Amino acid sequence: MGGSTQSLKQKAGSAAVEFVQSGMVVGLGTGSTAIWAVRRLAELIDSKKLAGIVAVPTSAATEAEARKLKISLTSLEAHPSVDLTIDGADEVDPNLNLIKGAGGALLREKIVAQASRRLMIAVDESKLSLQLGQNRPVPVEVVRFGWKTQQQFLEDLGASVCLRIGTDEKMFVTDQGNYILDCRFGPIHNVFQLSAQLNGRTGIVEHGLFVRMTTDLIVAGSKGIDHRKAIT
C-alpha cells in the first residue's frame, strides 16, 4: 500500500468509518484526513449500508461539507453523548496523546471528543512522533482581549509564539471568534504538566494538547492500515 500523502489520508479516513454502525451518533472531525471520513460516511449512507446515522460536526467547514453530502446533523444539546468520533491529528505520540488544531477547530473538537464514548483518530504515518512538539507547534486558542498577555505567559513557559494569520493576511479568527497562538515548545517532556498549566490560565480558552482522550488510532502507511488501541 504505497501512495501519496493525500492517498494515505483518504485510506486512513475511510478505514476509520468501517467502525461506524447503523443508529450511531457520530462526531465528524475537521481537517484534511477527517474530510475523507465524512465523504466515506456519506457514501455508505447513500448506498443504504448504514442507516439511522446522525452526526455532530466539529467546525463550520465540516458542517457545510456534511450538509452538502446530505448527512443528517444533530447537536450536543440534542445528543450529549456521542457513540464514536472520527478525527485527525497533527502529531501523535506512542501513548496516543495528540497535538491538534492546525485547522483552528480545536475547541469544538475537544468538546465533541470529551462527549464521545470512543475517539478514533485517523492519520497517515507522517504524523507519528516519539515526543509531542518535535514536529508541530501547539495551537492555543485565546480570547482577543489581552491576547498579548497570553503570548507573554506562553513565552515564559519556553515557547516561541506566533499569532496565526489567515489566508486573507488578517488575524485568523476561530469559529468561536477567538485568536490562535501557535506555540513551538520543542519536544514536550511532560505533556500532562503543560496541559495543566494551560488549563489553569484565564484567557486561554483551549489548547491543542489532547491527552488521555484517544481510544483508537488508525494509521495509514506504506505497509497498510494499522489499528492501535489505547492501553487502559
Report, at the CATH architecture level, how domain 138-208 is classified: 2-Layer Sandwich (3.30)
Question: Which CATH architecture fits 5-128+211-222?
Answer: 3-Layer(aba) Sandwich (3.40)
The model's pLDDT over 13-46, given as tens digits with 9 standing for 90+, comes to 999 999 999 999 999 999 999 999 999 999 999 9
User: No. of H helices and E strands in the chain?
Assistant: 6, 13
Distance CA(38)–CA(70), nearest Å, equals: 11
Q: What is the pTM of this model?
A: 0.94
Same CATH fold, 138-208 and 5-128+211-222?
no
By CB neighbour count within 10 A (0-12 exposed, 13-18 middle, 19+ buried), where does 132 fall? buried
- Measured in degrees and rounded to the nearest 5, phi and psi for residue 120 equal -105, 115
Q: What residue spans define the domains of the chain?
A: 5-128+211-222, 138-208
Q: For residue range 112-166, what is the model confidence (pLDDT) as tens digits?
A: 999 999 999 999 999 999 999 999 999 999 999 999 999 999 999 999 999 999 9
**From the centroid of its chain, how far is CA 2?**
24
pLDDT at 1 over 80: no
Mean pLDDT to the nearest integer, 185-214:
98
Q: Which among 65, 91, 109, 206 is annotated as catalytic?
A: 109
Residue 3 has pLDDT above 80, yes or no: no
How confident is the model over 69-109, as pLDDT tens digits?
Answer: 999 999 999 999 999 999 999 999 999 999 999 999 999 99
Question: How does DSSP assign 1-64, residue by residue?
Answer: ----HHHHHHHHHHHHHTT--TT-EEEE--STTHHHHHHHHHHHHHTTSS-S-EEEESSHHHHH
**Catalytic residue at 91?**
no
Q: What percent of the chain has pLDDT over 90?
A: 94
What is the C-alpha to C-alpha distance for residues 101 and 139, in angstroms, rounded to an integer?
A: 6
**pLDDT of 167 over the 90 cut:** no
| CA 109/CA 126 separation, integer angstroms | 21
